Structure formats: C-alpha cells, structure tokens
C-alpha cells in the first residue's frame, strides 16, 4: 500500500500533528514514520486501525486508494478549477499581504487565505475556493495550503530565526478571480498587512468559527455568518 505514504503525510499536516507525536500514537519511532511517509514501509493492520481511530476516519475509507494522490481528490471533490483558485488565492495573499521586503510568515499567510475565503462566503454566500479548513492550534487552515508551499515553483519558503518566511518568485495574475473575490482578498490583506502574526492569530481565535469547533474539526463556512461585519476579517 505505497499510496498510504500520501495519506499519512496529508492527514498529519492537515491536523497539525508532528512526526514525533504521530509516531508515538502509532507505537513506532520517528525514523519508522519517516520511512512510511517516504513509501519505504507499509503500515501493519494494527497501525492502520490506530490511524483510522486517531483521525476519526472509517478504516474502509482510509484504505480506499482512489483518495490519493491529492490531484485526484481535487478533481473528484472540488474540481481542478477550485484547486487552481485556491492556489491563486494563496499567491495573491502573498502578493498583497507580504511586508515591504516581499516576505510573509507562513502562519500569517495561512490566516489571510482563511479570512479571504470565509469573507467571500460572508459577502457573496460563496467562498473563493470552497476547500475545507481545519481548526488547528494556530488557527484555521486548509490541508492543500501545505502541499502548495511544499511543491509550487512560484513560491520560495525559507527559515528566518524561528519563523518560516514565504515569498514569490514570480508575480501572479489577478485575472483568475472575479472582481468581487479580488476585492475581498485585497481588503483582507490591506487590513492585516502591517499587523503581527500573533495579532492575526489572536483575531481568528476570537472568531465564532474557531471557538465553536473542536480541535482538528472541519470548520463550516456558514458559521462566519454569525459574526458581526467588523469581525469577519
């Protein structure tokens, strides 16, 4: 079951679990988990059952090899257009939300993307991407966010002190989003561009969608409609 490497890595990243934490839950060493994520080792039946229980996923779903790689999931569940819009949303949030040096922290970027998607739903009853956001310790984030930062050739990711900084290697075209969506992204980024990462994290923690959901749970877009206009972003 070599496809399981993709499943394990994406579940772990989506829920904010470190390799050390997941390895401990599965009763294995971190190097062993690394081997699983590289496709060099299969999970045992016992480990698969533990994984399914840990992430609250039926075992038969976990074993469905049509769920990976991600490109197949995107095409089946959201469509290629939705994934491309999410990618473009990420790129535009870097373009309009980065500091004067063109760089933005990974955590702050994730929050700008989340706020833009949910603000679009608040204003138009339609998110920009429609992808799922999970409640993590640093705030809501979509699993696809990590994949994009890991693989997209338009993005540079580098470590600066304790922060992960993100910047663009080439500028994106605004044209993939419609005028309303683009206006939302620019408004969100304008408000938060000069704010600290801690400030935007604290803001999302005070929002109703984050407060009412359980840890690692998918956050329904409709919850943003319970916010007052000044607290949408």
What integer is the mean pLDDT of 153-179?
A: 90
> What tokens does 120 get?
């679009």
What integer is the mean pLDDT of 153-161?
A: 89
CA separation for the pair 123, 217 (Å, rounded): 24
pTM of the model: 0.72
Where do the domains of the chain lie?
A: 4-68, 78-231
Q: Which residue has the higher pLDDT, 231 or 56?
A: 231
> What tokens does 131 get?
């992808």
How high is the pLDDT of residue 147?
A: 83
Per-residue model confidence as pLDDT tens digits over 210-227: 999 988 888 999 999 999
Residue 142, beta-bridge partner list: 133
Residue recorded with tokens 């956050």: 219
Return the percentage of the chain with pLDDT > 70, whole number. Answer: 87
Per-residue model confidence as pLDDT tens digits over 8-34: 887 777 667 888 989 999 999 999 999
Per-residue model confidence as pLDDT tens digits over 44-76: 889 988 988 887 676 766 676 544 443 344 334
Topology annotation, domain 4-68 = 434 Repressor (Amino-terminal Domain) (1.10.260)
Residue 126 phi, psi dihedral angles, 5° rounding: -150, 120
User: What integer best gives the mean pLDDT of the chain?
Assistant: 86
Q: How many CA atoms lie within 13 A of 199 on its CB side?
A: 7
For the chain, what is the HEC assignment?
CCCHHHHHHHHHHHCCCCHHHHHHHHCCCHHHHHHHHCCCCCCCHHHHHHHHHHCCCCHHHHCCHHHCCHHHHHHHHHCHHHHHHHHHHHHHHHHHHCCCCCCEEHHHHHHHHHHHHHHHHHHHCCCCCCCCEEEECCEEEEHHHHHHHHHCCCEEEEEECCEEEEEECCCCCHHHCCHHHHHHHHHHHHHHCCCCHHHHHHHHHHCHHHHHCCCCCECCHHHHHHCCHHHCC
Return the percentage of the chain with pLDDT > 90, whole number. Answer: 55
How high is the pLDDT of residue 11?
A: 77
Residue 227 phi, psi dihedral angles, 5° rounding: -85, 150
Check whether 152 has a pLDDT greater than 50: yes
What integer is the mean pLDDT of 158-178?
A: 89
């Amino acid at each position: 079951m070599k496809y399981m490497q993709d499943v394990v890595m994406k579940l772990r990243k989506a829920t904010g679990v470190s390799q050390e934490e997941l390895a401990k839950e599965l009763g294995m060493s971190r190097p062993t988990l690394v081997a699983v994520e590289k496709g060099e080792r299969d999970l045992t039946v016992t480990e698969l059952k533990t994984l399914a229980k840990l992430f609250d996923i039926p075992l038969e779903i976990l074993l469905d090899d049509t769920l990976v790689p991600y490109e197949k999931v995107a095409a089946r569940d959201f469509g290629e257009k939705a994934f491309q819009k999410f990618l473009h949303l990420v790129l535009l949030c870097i373009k309009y939300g980065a500091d004067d040096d063109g760089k933005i922290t990974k955590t702050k970027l994730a929050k700008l993307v989340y706020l833009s998607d949910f603000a679009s739903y608040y204003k138009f009853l339609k998110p920009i991407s429609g992808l799922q956001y999970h409640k993590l310790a640093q705030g809501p984030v979509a699993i696809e966010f990590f994949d994009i930062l890991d693989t997209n050739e338009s993005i540079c990711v580098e470590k600066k002190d304790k922060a992960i900084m993100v910047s663009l290697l080439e500028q994106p075209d605004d044209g993939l989003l419609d005028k309303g969506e683009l206006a939302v992204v620019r408004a969100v980024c304008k408000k938060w561009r000069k704010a600290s990462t801690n400030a935007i994290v604290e803001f999302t923690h005070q929002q109703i969608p984050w407060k009412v959901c359980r840890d690692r749970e998918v956050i329904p877009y409709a919850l943003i409609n319970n916010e007052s206009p000044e607290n949408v972003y």
